Amino acid sequence: MTIPIVVVDAFTEQPFKGSPAAVCLLDRPRPPYWLQEVARQINLPETAFLLSEQNGYYLRWFTPTQEMELSGHATLASAHLLWERRLIPCDREARFFTRSGLLTAVQHGDLIQLDFPVEPPRTLTPTPDLERAVGAPIINAGKNRHDYLVEVADEGTVRDLKPDLDALARLDCRGLIVTSRAESERYDYVSRYFAPQIGIPENPATGSAHCCLAPYWGKILWKSAMIGYQASGRGGIVRVELAGMRVKISGKAVTIQRSKLDHAPRMFSS
């Protein structure tokens, strides 16, 4: 028996841009240790595992080193795959049962729109450890239940940043969001995302980070709808729209690779 695996680049319409995620279509529940081994073998920023359920799909996300509470780009990749393979009709909402509750996705033209919880940062005074880890002067700092967020002086600082990944791995958080206002009129803000603690030195395009970025920049810019650019080497475009305690996160996706995972039944013993 084989398990289909599809690699999707999320938050982009160009191959080899945005953030890559593998999506595995399971035929039945598998033990967590096996899911983790598969994610480690695939070795992309995140691997999503989908299991069909009567009213939607169970969805779990794994980095090469651990299971995640929330992932934007792997959820967008999962929705893209379900519609592309016509496992659900294109005009139907995709429903995902996750460790962060029910998440949904819909299609708006060539965009996939995710409905995620808002995760605003709580303002804090940067510690010396955080400043050393970032490696650039911090204008503002905050933290939510997942990540630190730091604003730096300008887009050039974001793009050129070389944080201390060993120091970041010792911080009490999932990862670090670094952001500034955008210089281009095409975007409202730019960002990068580093998460060495969970096996991702830098994620090219991070949907869940915008659960924090959207309320942060929305308050500063007095906007509810914005466009963010993730200024990683691959780059990623993320559209956000604040809606109370939810944020609509939209982007495009492109399928890169289709394959199958061979396995032996003994691997699935619990």
Do 235 and 140 share a domain, yes or no?
yes
Q: Is residue 180 part of a domain?
A: yes
My answer on whether 32 and 145 are in the same domain is: no
Residue 177 sits in the same domain as residue 135:
yes
Pair 75, 114: CB distance under 8 Å: yes
How many CB atoms neighbour CB 165 within 10 A? Answer: 15
pLDDT of residue 264: 45
Tokens of 80: 């893209």
Q: Does residue 233 share a domain with residue 130?
A: yes
- Residues 261 and 150: their CA atoms lie apart, in Å, by 40
Tens digits of per-residue pLDDT, 235-244? Answer: 999 999 999 9
Report whether pLDDT(269) > 90.
no
Residues 257 and 239 in one domain: no
Helix/strand/coil (H, E, C) string of 59-125? Answer: EEEECCCCECCCCCHHHHHHHHHHHHCCCCCCCCCEEEEECCEEEEEEEECCEEEEEEECCCCEECC
User: Would you say residue 67 lies in a domain?
Assistant: yes
List the domain range (segments joined by +) for residue 199.
122-243
Distance between CA 23 and CA 49 in Å, rounded?
6
Domain count, the chain: 2
- Which domain CATH number covers 226? 3.10.310.10
> Is residue 200 a part of any domain in this protein?
yes
Q: Checking DSSP bridges between strand 122-123 and strand 101-108, what pairing results, if any?
A: unpaired
List, in order, residues 6 or more apart from 215 with CB less than 8 Å away: 118, 119, 120, 121, 242, 247
Phi and psi of 11, rounded to 5°? 65, 40
pTM, rounded to two decimals: 0.93
Q: Is residue 67 within 8 Å of 78, Cβ to Cβ?
A: no
Taking the CA atoms of 71, 75, 77 and 78 in sequence, report the sign of the dihedral they define. positive
Say yes or no: 80 and 153 in one domain: no
What is the reported pLDDT for 172? 87
Looking at the structure, tell me whether residues 87 and 7 fall in a common domain.
Answer: yes
Write down the pLDDT at residue 251.
98
Q: Is residue 183 part of a domain?
A: yes
Name 181's Cβ contacts closer than 8 Å, sequence gap at least 6: 154, 155, 188, 189, 190
Structure confidence by residue, pLDDT tens digits, 132-172: 999 999 999 999 999 999 999 999 999 999 999 999 999 88
pLDDT of res. 2: 84
CA distances from 125 to 152, 165, 220 (A): 14, 21, 18
Residue 56 has which token pair?
């939607």
Closest CA to 207 of 224, 230, 174: 230
Q: Based on the fold, state whether residues 261 and 223 are members of the same structural domain.
A: no
132 and 67 assigned to the same domain: no
31/93 same-domain check: yes
Domain contains 215: yes
Do 74 and 55 lie in one domain? The reply is yes
pLDDT band at 174 (very low <50, low <70, confident <90, very high): very high
In a domain, 113, yes or no: no
* 162 within domain boundaries: yes
193 located within any domain: yes
259 and 226 belong to one structural domain:
no
Name the residues annotated as catalytic.
46
